């Protein structure tokens, strides 16, 4: 009985999400640069964050993406983040505000460590298909023996292919 319910639930989800993928996917590529702050374990540090990013918009309002960020704090932490992003519609405006959330892996002394990140921002158009984002990301990083809280304010460049 549970298998039948599971099967019909899968079919229902499949057909109900068909409209999510009705539009042809588009790619957005770019980079980010900004300030990152990590605090925990009795101290905090600030540094520069930079790295490439890519995302696939599979719907007018939804996308999945990945980033590879290098930070200049002690130990040179490197973040590989994957996220889901939702773009809001603003009538009469070309600015594209969004929220996002996802998971990350952090590579620095003693680890890889798991992190949860969430945040938001807005893409400001400067030319057709070219945007400058204002972005805020935050969340915990679960390091061995402690947890670190991560906070980043970044900008960069985005190009929609």
Give 120: exposed, middle or buried? Use CB within 10 Å, 0-12, 13-18, 19+. middle
| Nearest-5° Cα angle at 133, 72 to 38 | 30
Query: What averages of pLDDT result for each successive group of 10 residues across the chain (161 residues)?
Result: 57 50 83 93 88 94 95 90 96 96 90 93 96 96 86 96 91
Domain residues of the chain, as ranges?
24-160
Residue 10 has what pLDDT?
56
Residue 16 has what pLDDT?
47
Residue 93 has what pLDDT?
94
Residue 138 has what pLDDT?
96
Residue 3 has what pLDDT?
61
Residue 43 has what pLDDT?
81
Beta strands in 72-145 (DSSP E): 78-87, 96-107, 113-127, 130-143
CB 131 within 8 A of CB 157: yes
CATH 2.40.160.20 fits domain 24-160: yes
Residue 75 has what pLDDT?
81
């Amino acid at each position: 009985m549970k298998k039948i319910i599971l099967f019909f639930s899968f079919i229902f989800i499949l057909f109900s999400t068909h409209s999510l993928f009705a539009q042809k996917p588009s790619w957005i590529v770019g980079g980010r640069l900004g300030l990152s702050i990590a605090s925990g374990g009795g101290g905090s540090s600030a540094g520069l964050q930079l790295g490439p990013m890519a995302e696939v918009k599979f719907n007018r309002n939804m996308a999945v993406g990945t980033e590879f960020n290098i930070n200049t704090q002690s130990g040179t932490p490197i973040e590989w983040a994957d996220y889901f992003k939702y773009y809001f519609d603003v009538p009469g405006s070309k600015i594209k505000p969004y929220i996002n959330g996802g998971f990350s892996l952090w590579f620095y002394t003693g680890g890889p460590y798991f992190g949860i990140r969430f945040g938001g921002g807005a893409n400001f158009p400067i030319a057709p298909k070219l945007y400058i984002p204002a972005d805020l990301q935050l969340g915990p990083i679960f390091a061995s023996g402690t947890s670190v809280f991560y906070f980043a304010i970044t900008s960069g460049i985005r190009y929609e292919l």
